[in-house]
Amino acid sequence: MEKLEKIIPGFHGYKVKELIREDDRLVRNYIYEELRRARGIVRELMLAALDGMYDASTTHLDRLWKKLDEAGSKIKNAPTGYAGFFDRVKVREQELEALKRIDAEIASMTENLLAVLQEARSNPAKLREVMSLVNSVLDKIELRNNLFKTEPGR
């Protein structure tokens, strides 16, 4: 590898960017799996509510499940920070580092969401807080996904 870095100009920078992208992929997969776990819990609560064993609206739980599904889909299919050779916009290391920071924030928010959802198993009033947290995660995913949108004059 070190020989390649000496022979091929720009290889080191390419390698660093590739490692950051790989970290990003791993974090996004983790977030996706956590959101999937949350959907599973909501599904359990929905079934319990249908059986009269959980005091919450199935409509509200269904909405929550759909929001979690939307968040999971958006993070799974999120931009990865690649730019084609002939693209006008090039992705720099700083942007990839910002991507990693936002991913870490989303991961933390998702862990918090799961903790509150666990509390909601015994306290249905916590579902409002869970919905608010899901909306915050969706907002942060949107911010993340807009990092690589082309801007005029950039």
Q: pLDDT (tens digit, 9 = 90+) per residue, 59-109?
A: 999 999 999 999 999 999 987 755 444 444 556 777 778 888 999 999 999
The CATH number linked to 39 is 1.20.120
Q: What is the model's pTM?
A: 0.81
Q: For residue 141, give both structure tokens.
A: 């995913």
Residue 30 maps to a domain: yes
Predicted confidence (pLDDT) per residue in 21-67, tens digit: 788 889 999 999 999 999 999 999 999 999 999 999 999 999 999 99
- Residues 126/116, Cβ–Cβ less than 8 Å: yes
Determine, yes or no, domain membership for 9. Answer: yes
Domain count of the fold of the chain: 1
Distances (CA, A) of 82 to 11, 93, 98, 116: 16, 11, 14, 35
Domain, as residue range, for 36: 2-145
